[in-house]
Chains A and B, each alone.
Chain A
Amino acid sequence: MLQDFISAKKSLFESGAHTELRMQRNRERSVMLLAGDIVENTRSDAAGVSARVYRGGRCGFSSIAECSSEAAERVLRAAAENASFMHAHVPGKKPMLPSLPSGCFVCEAINDPAQRVYTEYVRALDSYLVAHCPKLTSRRIYATEDSMEKLLVVSDGTDAHTVLPRSYVYLFLTAETDAGVPVEVYRAFGGERTFDLNFTDPSALYPEIDKLYEQLMQKREGVYADAGLRTVILGGELTGMLAHEAVGHTVEADMVLSGSVAASRLHKQVASELVSLTDFAHTAFGERCPLPVFVDDEGTVARDAVIIENGILTGYMNNRESALHFGVEPCGNARAWSFSDEPLIRMRNTAIHPGKDKLEDMIASVDDGYYLIATNNGQADTTGEFMFGITMGYEIKKGMLGRALLDTTISGVAFEMLKTVDMVGDRIAWESSGFCGKKQPMPVGVGGPALRCKVMIGGR
């Protein structure tokens, strides 16, 4: 755990300004096995201290790659000087940030498994692939863990010592069609907690590997989607991506202030009445979220940010400054990736709420369309126009699943597409293996149920 060099420095905080002083350590562990060979076997640790001084709407920030009392004092001085530079050149007149309740949040220490824990696990999976998946032409296994440990003291708000570990195993499988064309499938397993806790027994993943291999064999016989506007059932993984990329980014307050599509839609109907969406802090539907956040990096105690209720846009995600601008309470969305990063408005666990429909009934209701279940990336625009890569899906013909699809993409405009939702599945699926990119990377959770809706699909 980080040794506390910073709590005693509160006495050095400048009066009349909001100050954050943060010590942080990020660690990453990874092993990549490619065709049986370890091609990546790395560990990294980065730790340091940073300070941010906010005065009148201008910020000074500084960081040093060192955890010490001297480093803490140095960044406080440098951040204050930078804030002064900004005021001297572009004076800011915004009011002080409203005070928040003070408090202190403390987490528990986490393990740091040895590298052999990773290498032995991927070896076991690789042996299973070799023995049980005869038609593979290529296989890649990537085991990884990243964690953020933060010690935060603020001029007002909640001081905190938090840690967020997560670990995953990614499988990439490739086979060739009869014509010799490569096709691939991919899936990530894992979630919050360190690698040794998430992956105790390789055989627990064997049934999942069998399912993935079966999908690959189906994809070998796959067909191109018929391009155009189609009725689809989005699986939960895709709904989660939709919640994050297509809606979530447009309702981040900094994006709103830059003129995102959500700027003019507050309190308006932006989705079907069946759709509700929340950025959950740490608990959703009575269970711990995939990547819980308890206190953000501005010292705000985290709580849920309700975004869409029964189709109506009800709010945005804020930091303390934008919350003041919009006249609302902040919910703890200010997060920084590394010690040298300033907090930005970020999502935490963004999900569309489950509804009442059974997946089987949803598929049976489609005469001619697609069931889309896996994605490898997604992007969205401030206009709400989104694109997701689809790596696994099936035709639906007369209410029955048909042939698998070759890779394709779907697109749409979020607040138009969400109005076409007319069935919502009753089970939520969460995913948390990726990074959200917005100046800095950030681990986030995304979730949702199956949705029946209309989207554009690419193809031939």
Chain B
Amino acid sequence: MSLIKTFHKWLSLLVGLQLLVWLGTGLYFNVMDHDKASGNQNRQRVESPAVDLQRLIEPKTVIREYDTTVSMSLITLLSHPYYLLIHEKGLYRHFKNSYSLVDAVTGKPFVITKTIATVIALESYKGTATVAATVKLTGPSDDFPKEQNSLWQVNIDDDLNTSVYVDAGSGRLIGHSNDDKRFVDFIFMLHFMDYASEGSFNNVQVIVFAIFTLFFAFTGLIWTVELGFNGQYRPALLLGRKLAKTKKVKVFDKHSKSIGQLAMASHENLLDSLLNHDIALPSTCGGGGTCGRCKIVVDSAVKMTSADRSQLTEQELQAGYRLACQHNSDELEQLTLVDVTEAETHELELISSEFISPYIKQLRFKSVSGERVEFRAGAFMRFFIPAAKGSSIPAYLPVELLHHWQDVIHMEYEHLACSRNYSLANGDGQTDELVFTVKIQTSPNERVKPGIGSSYICNLAPGETIEAVGPFEEFYARPSSSKPMVLVGAGSGMAPLKALIEEQLIKNTSSRELYFYFGARSQLDLIYSEHFQQLSDSYPNFHYLPVLSRPGQDWNGATGYVQDHLGEELATELEKALDKTEFYLCGPAAMMESTIELLKSHSIADNAIAFDKFE
């Protein structure tokens, strides 16, 4: 199937413009004025008087004189009878023919001279006309490209630049042409790709393009059918939110007890629909179909998406398990909840929003209701980003950061509503504030929108509010443990680790050993470094170990990648206590993967490693 799609895309590049030409010229043929297209606006019928048969000489005499004759017919030219003898007969009149003309009364040969041709032409012309020129054409003419005989072209001096064509051998009026017809011929030339003006649609280029187009149309059709099978032609997708249907879906809890009929709109996925009824399913990917957490049970006939297949086992799929984020209310009548997070929706008010590095902001929120939102360190909340207009560059940039943003392309864009998860960065339990550190995802180039969630939330002004559901506690320190903790973070993936550290040191006043390996690019990206320095000064059991991959000058600390540095220390200082150490990881996927690999190579058990995925 992907081959079909690839073909379709490449063929579109190849034949796309020609397809527009075909459609455009096709439309022209559909709407054009056929009278104009004929080229006959100034043509009139030539009325010939009846021939006085008595005066004609015997055909036998003429044929004998001219010998090789396939046929001889009596014609009238300029009101006078002539015998037209055909010596070599083409299959059609426009094919090569060889003629003689003989005066049918006198028996004298007759030749279509320039003057005769002009008079024959004018006889067929409506009204009076001035002849601009009469030219003999021996090759094919532009107006009658298929004509293989030599022709007289009589050009009339009129508004339409009429040309009249007379067969130089037989005196037959071939036809009229004018600028209107020439324009139509030009459109035909484009439609037939007849760039050599052969008056033919059997040329090589059109055949090649036709074959490519054939494949193009078939691959497109196959794709369309596939989209249909994948449910991409649901009316709600076309009509959008305004006309989306809302329907009641019966919802049961995990003990099959009915919760009631809940209204769900077809334009949003079930994960969001349930959230509207304050039923929060676990989800760490926010509805992308990549975390596999938002399981529900539905009728097993509900189609499986590729995300369902990759996140659920075959047994689960057969039993009707699906991911709520992959389906909507159109597809089902009822659903059963498997796992519900006891999370509430909170309206949060922004207290402050400040840059702590060129691209990372610390955002402090408090609950509008005034009630304290309790959470375990390491938790995250899911924010509802409403549909809005966004900007790639924050509205209020401190002067000292301007130079970091000058290469970021300025874009204004609109985005749809979505939800985004952000980890809480505070864990000391000292305030009722909810603190988040959010990196504004800038776009790598003008083709890509910046992160719409991060841009939206970082552009909120203090005093503004936003809805968030949670907290969701999926990453946390193992309770009542006094084993040493090694925390490994990188980039902006430090928020939940910071919360864990504060929880251990300040809230729990734990004396367990804490090693915090934090990787960043340069000093500028070492967020909260003063804070951690102070903590390590105040708490001898806390070890702050920043590692810079691209340090500037005056850096005395470790350099390289954080996982490499950790590797060295695992082999030396940490070696003795390895089997009873807990590891907490949070950072970019590549760093996490290589760290987990490293830990496994040191025979560290899976259950001693906790990680928080960060994409």
A and B are interacting partners = no
Give the A-binding residues of B (Cβ under 8 A). none
Give the B-binding residues of A (Cβ under 8 A). none
